[in-house]
Every structure is written in structure tokens, then in C-alpha cells.
Amino acid sequence: MRMTVDPDEGLVVVVPNLWFERFVEKFLQQKSSWILKHLTRMKKQMDGKTVIRHSKTDYAKNKEAVLAHITKRVEFFNSLYKFRYNKISLRNQTSLWGSCTRAGNLQFNYKLIHLPPAALDYVVVHEICHLQEHNHGPRFWSLVAKVIPDYKKIRRSLHNYVMKEG
């Protein structure tokens, strides 16, 4: 038997086919403190969070439009910085909003389109600044702050979004 706690489904119990109901009930009673503890923790973790659902179908359907929008934002913000970059690409990622390679390639999560415009712009600027500073040191944050002075607040707000397949 296996138990998990899921933000959408709550407690999920997987029971082998031949188990009797009374054994399952007894097991659940024995594990009631574990269940309550994990359900409470999950509820606290999800308080105030927005779930962004994603699927391969959604990605395929919206990829070109999202890439065009993000490309325009990169071009706009990079006109202020004037850093060199190679290409811009879109990914269907489950945890990262964006990344910048040492070769100067900017990669963005297509789910950025579901964020408020200020958060999307912050991620774009963040990755552009990595073209100059490949770290999160003081010079990097100084570059970000030149264009997004309230970047700390926006950066914290990104923790309120959870990406979930489905």
C-alpha cells in the first residue's frame, strides 16, 4: 500500500487488488497522525499560491505566439542594455522560468505568459542580465535594478506560482 498527499487530490491511497477493506481501514487509522500532519503541511504550502497548469498540447498550441511575445520583450529590454545574445527559445519546463547559457542563448518557459506582465518582464530582464554577469552577485542585481527597481518584490511573488502538469 502507498500513500501520498497531493495539492489537488488530497490524500491518495494506492491499494493492491487483493487487500481487504478492513486492513486498509486499520492501516489508515494507524497512520492518521502522519496523514493529518502531511495534509496540514500541504495546505500551508499551497496557501495563497496560484497553480499554473500545463500540458504538451497547450505548449504546442501556444508556442509560436508566446515566443513572439517574449522575443518582443527581450528586444525592448535589451535595447536598454545592448548585450549580445544568440538565440531565444521556448521550453516546456516544470520548475525554471528562464535560463541563459554561456553561449548567450536565452531560454524561457512558455508558462511565463500566465504570469502578470511585471513578473514576465522581470524574468526577461533577469536572463538578459545574465548575458553580462553569469552569477547572482551584487553587479548582477545592480544591472537588474537599473530597469526593474522593485525586482525583489516581483522575485518574491514568483514563489506564489506552482507549475503542475494536467
| Mean predicted confidence (pLDDT) in 7-27 | 79
Reported as a pLDDT band with limits 50, 70 and 90, residue 114 is confident
| Distance of alpha carbon 79 from alpha carbon 72, whole angstroms | 11
Spell out where 62-160 has E strands: 88-91, 98-100, 106-109
Q: Under CATH, domain 52-165 is a member of which superfamily?
A: Metalloproteases ("zincins"), catalytic domain (3.30.2010.10)
pLDDT digits (tens, 9 = 90+) for 28-53: 888 888 888 887 777 766 676 666 66
Closest CA to 1 of 33, 36, 31: 31
Q: What is the pLDDT of residue 106?
A: 98
Q: How many CA atoms lie within 13 A of 23 on its CB side?
A: 7
Mind listing the pLDDT tens digit for each residue in 123-143? 999 999 999 999 999 999 999
The strands making up 88-91's β-sheet, listed across from edge to edge, are 88-91, 106-109, 98-100
- Which band of pLDDT confidence, cut at 50, 70 and 90, is reported for residue 162? confident
**What residue spans in the chain does CATH classification 3.30.2010.10 cover?**
52-165
Q: Residue 161 — pLDDT band, cuts 50, 70, 90? A: confident
Amino acid 90: pLDDT: 95
Can you give the pLDDT at residue 149?
97
pLDDT for residue 122:
98
